[in-house]
Amino acid sequence: MFVNWAHYTIPKISFVLSLISNPLFIYLICSNKKVLFGNYRYLLVFFAIFNLFASVADLLIPVSVYCYRYAFVTYVTDGPFSVRSAYGEVPLSYRCAFIAGTYGILNVHFVFRYLTLKRYAKKEAGDIKNISLRGILTYDSK
C-alpha cells in the first residue's frame, strides 16, 4: 500500500520530539518546588506519560480511516502489525483506545482547570463591579 511521505515521516519526528520533551516536562514538574501546582501536578505528569505511550502506539500502529457515506473502516497501514493475523484487531483496538483516551484526558484537564478557577474566584474576587474573569466567575457562581 502506498503511504504518503508526510504520513510516513511525521509520526517518527513526533515520536522523537515526544521522547525528548515529555521526560524533560516531567522532570521540570517534579523538581520545581517554587511553583505551587498542587494536585494539578499529578494530572500533568499523567498527561505526559500518556503522551509518551500514545507516541509509541502512533509509531508502531499507524492507522488509516476510509469513509464512505455514513460508514468508516479503520485499518493498519504500515509497521510490524500490518500483516494479516489472528490477533490483528488487538493492536488496532489499542491504537483506537489511545485516540479516544486523548479526548478524555483533555476533557478532564479542562474541567480541573475550570473548577480550580471557579474556586479561586470564589475565594479571591471582591467587587461585582470589577469587570474581569474573576468578577464574572464570582457573579456566575452566586
pLDDT at 61 over 90: no
pLDDT band at 128 (very low <50, low <70, confident <90, very high): very low
- 3 Cβ contact partners less than 8 Å away, ≥ 6 residues apart: 62, 77, 78
Q: Domain locations in the chain? A: 5-115
Task: Check whether 18 has a pLDDT greater than 90.
Answer: yes
How far the first Cα of the chain sits from its last, in Å, is 59
29-58: pLDDT as tens digits: 888 777 777 778 888 899 999 999 999 988
Residues 95, 99, 104, 108, CA torsion sign: positive
d(CA 77, CA 58): 11
Q: Using one digit for the tens of pLDDT, what is the confidence trace for 73-82?
A: 888 887 787 7
Task: Work out the pLDDT band at 20, boundaries 50, 70, 90.
Answer: very high
At a CB cut-off of 8 Å and minimum separation 6, what does 141 contact? 118, 121, 122
- At 77-105, the pLDDT tens digits run 877 877 888 887 888 888 889 888 888 88
How far apart are alpha carbons 135 and 81 in whole angstroms? 54
Q: What's the half-sphere exposure (Cβ side, CA atoms, 13 Å) at 11?
A: 20
69: which DSSP letter? T
pLDDT at 123 over 70: no
Q: Of all residues in the chain, what percent carry a pLDDT higher than 90?
A: 19
Determine the residue type at 8.
Y
pLDDT at 24: 95
**Rounded to 5 degrees, what are φ and ψ at 76?**
-85, 130
Mean pLDDT of the region 8-22: 91
Torsion of CA 36, 40, 44, 49, to 10 degrees: 120
